[in-house]
Amino acid sequence: MKNGILWLLTLACLLTVGCETGSNSSPESSGTGSATSQTSTGTGTPSTPRGPNIVLVVLDDVDYFDLGIYGAPTTRTPRLDQLAGQGMRFDQYYSSPKCSDARSSLITGRSPATWGITGVLANYRRSDGSATRGPWRGLPTEITTLAEMLIPRGYATAHFGKWHLGTSRPEFLPSGQGFQESRLWSTGPVVDRPSGDGFYWGYNYVIDGVRTTAPRLGQPGADEAYLPRRLTDDAIDFITRHRDQPFYVNLWHFTPHAPYHVPAGFDNTSFGYNLNGNAGKISAMVTDVDREVGRLVDAIDALGLGENTLILVVSDNGGLPDGGGGRDAARQAKLIRAYKGTVFEGGVRVPCIARWTGHIPAGRLNSSVASSRDLVPTIAQLAGASLPSGVTGQNLVPVVTQDTTLSQDQFFIYQAYMTYADAKAAGADLDHLDQFALRSGNFKLIRGPSSNKTFLYDLGAGPGGEFADLSGANPAVVADLMTRFTAWQTHIADIPFSETVINGVRTIPFTTQLDFADGNFTFAADVESNAANQLGVIAHKAGSWTLFWINGRINLKLWDDRPDKPFADREVNLVGPLVTTGVKHRVGFSVYALPEDNQLVSLSVDGVAVARLIPDQYPAGQTLFAVNRSDEPITLGARGDGTQMFDGTIANLHLSALALPPDEL
């Protein structure tokens, strides 16, 4: 109990820091600054209190109505229900519409849009079926992750399970983001394993950044080889080995993400799930991972670490339709709207359970409006770690330890890009293909994929609040929230850069954010030409793209990433209209990330799109599935060798990891 008493005294000091609950000028509230400093000897009896151990369990596609304690009508989750009874659960905890965006917030404390992560960093197949490719992008290494914040405080750090934050570069892997040990799942090639079975039974591990050559094989359906078992075993092993020092463990399960495969050893006798349909399979998988969470908690308690360990269980996003199960029933009853991949409540409001024995009041339901961004500042304060600048999450220490309610004067914004086919079917405005939701108090504004589809809801009206559009009756509220969103969008994803001069050419040194490939990107600058009839480079990234002035016109050339075609045959071109010489113009381009299709590219001059590349209107033989990768810098006013020098001025650069509309450049 000595540590417990000391922590109560320490928390009394920590709570004087408090959390920022007032309104902010930015649509996203800012973080809480540096936490109170403490010292730790790295032993079980520090001279001054060490931070609690941190175990962050992320369930994959677990819906708000998948857990018994959250009102699941059929699915049984006795261990998670028990965990909530021993701690606190939140009924207004928000994540993101999809996997990668949610996970980036969990370990950075910032909006995923900051890095341009507005969808899944996963494998996609070209729309013509010619090839698949993995995600080229990842979480930028320039940022400080939660693991990197905790290591100076003496924490041992580990990540087990799903990642989805980039694998194409070693620095994108957990081993490059502060996790001292890691085990990632990686599919095949695995012999004698159908692709579906390979998801949960035939897989390779990426261990500490190195892919294993021998897969972890098990007979399809075998309980001992089921991926959730392996991952839980890994987490328990790490915790056992590091029980005498503070530790931070990510256990990011894949369950119950599709494909819906139930282990043969699952005992269905007391549940009676129909394992012939998706609803029953999903329920069984949720119940099974519930058992794994219970096994993890039991191991922590058996080691005597319950009073020193904060256990957090969350989902990355809402669930998909389940074929007539509890999820669909909740939507039909208008208890929640829509599913994973949307910015409605059913896509972003998910379970969150916190247990820290002796510190978090037991059996509490908290209605604070909280989000995945809040975990980093909360954990950092408890650990005595300093927060880096830019963290936008809120400190939940007073909420979880004193059961207070966090002010709802915050704004939570979510973005998700859609396929072009969906956007076209919706009649989308090509300058506004993003979806977003902005919550202020009980009001929630949603703009769909078309700028003329804006909805306003009152979430304080009860479960059915998101089914009654109030935008027509509240134009001033809509206008205010739209203004806030636009201000946020314009600068939330600004890519920091510096300029140097190499061989007499202005140069922006390479960072991984500049190699946007299959993602979103915007470049803009004030450009004034001194000569109409010149061929001059405005900006150039060798092997990827060139923005240039040619005979009075602004042109953009991009190169596709297709390795099956000669480089010279991968060019895609946009030609703008004649512009006035000797006059300053705002010139730029945006690339919209469209999964499973060619990119949408807009070239703009003075706030207006003057040319576009549209997925189903590409010139014959041209594709742009992803902009060709290169580790080259961006040069300004010339190529890197000094050729094609631009006669004029280039100023006021703006680089963004989002595809900004022309009027925001």
Secondary structure string (H, E, C) spanning 160-214: EECCCCCCCCHHHCHHHCCCCEEEEEEECCCCCCCHHHHHHCCEEEEECCEECCC
pLDDT of 130: 55
Q: Which CATH architecture has domain 418-492?
A: 2-Layer Sandwich (3.30)
What's the pTM? 0.89
Residues 175-181, mean pLDDT to the nearest whole number: 96
Contact 260, 48 (CB under 8 A): no
**Which residue type does 532 have?**
A
What's the mean pLDDT in 218-225? Answer: 51
* Rounded Cα distance, 407 and 123, in Å: 39
Pure H helices in 475-575: 475-492
pLDDT of residue 596: 65
User: For this structure, is 99 an active site residue?
Assistant: yes
Q: 498 or 417, which is more confident? A: 498
pLDDT of residue 481: 94
Mean pLDDT of 366-378: 97
Confidence at 5, pLDDT banded by 50, 70, 90: very low
422 or 311, which is more confident: 311
Residue with tokens 């896509």: 347
Binning pLDDT at 50, 70 and 90, where does residue 203 land? low
Question: Could you read off the pLDDT of 39-86 as tens digits, one per residue?
Answer: 333 334 344 468 999 999 999 999 999 999 999 999 999 999 999 999
Backbone dihedral angles phi then psi of residue 288, each to the nearest 5 degrees: -65, -45
**pLDDT given at position 452:** 64
Q: Are strands 500-502 and 505-508 parallel, antiparallel or unpaired?
A: antiparallel
The widest CA-to-CA distance across the chain, in whole angstroms, is 81
Percent of the chain with pLDDT over 70: 83
CB atoms within 10 A of CB 365: 11
Tell me the DSSP string of 342-375. Answer: SSSHHHHB--EEEE-TTTSPTTEEE---EEGGGH
pLDDT at position 526 over 90: yes
Q: Domain 500-664 is in which class?
A: mainly beta
State how far the Cα of 633 lies from the Cα of 615, in Å rounded to an integer: 28
For residues 332 and 330, give the distance between their C-alpha atoms in angstroms, rounded to a whole number: 6
Asked if the model's pLDDT at residue 204 lies above 80, the reply is no
- What are the helix and strand counts (H, E) for the chain? 13, 30
| pLDDT for the residue 211 | 62
CB 637 within 8 A of CB 524: no
Q: Supply the pLDDT for residue 595.
A: 66
Confidence of residue 15 (pLDDT cuts 50, 70, 90): very low
Residue 311: strand pairing partners: 55, 355
Q: Which of 19, 99, 352, 359 is catalytic?
A: 99
Instruction: Out of 194-203, 389-398, 426-435, pick the least confident.
Output: 194-203
Residue 218 has pLDDT above 60, yes or no: no
Question: What does the pLDDT read at residue 632?
Answer: 97
Q: What is the second-level CATH architecture of the domain 2-411?
A: 3-Layer(aba) Sandwich (3.40)
What sign has the CA pseudo-torsion 645, 646, 647, 652?
A: negative
> Which region among 196-205, 293-302, 471-480 has the lowest average model confidence (pLDDT)?
196-205
Average of per-residue pLDDT values in the chain: 86
Q: Pull the structure tokens for residue 122.
A: 């996963």
In the chain, where are the structural domains located? 2-411, 418-492, 500-664
Higher pLDDT residue, 10 or 370? Answer: 370
- Residue 164 among the catalytic residues: yes
* Of residues 194 and 121, more confidently modeled: 121
Q: What distance in Å separates the CA atoms of residue 644 and residue 625, rounded to the nearest whole number?
A: 28
DSSP codes of every residue in 546-612:
EEEEETTEEEEEEEB--TTS-GGGGEEEEEEEE--TTS-EEEEEEEE--TTSPPEEEEEETTEEEEE
pLDDT band for 274, please (50, 70, 90 cuts): very high
Residue 124 confidence class, pLDDT cut points 50, 70, 90:
low
Q: Which of 13, 19, 159, 164 is catalytic?
A: 164
**What pLDDT is stored for residue 222 in this prediction?**
47
Averaged over 212-235, what is the pLDDT?
Answer: 67
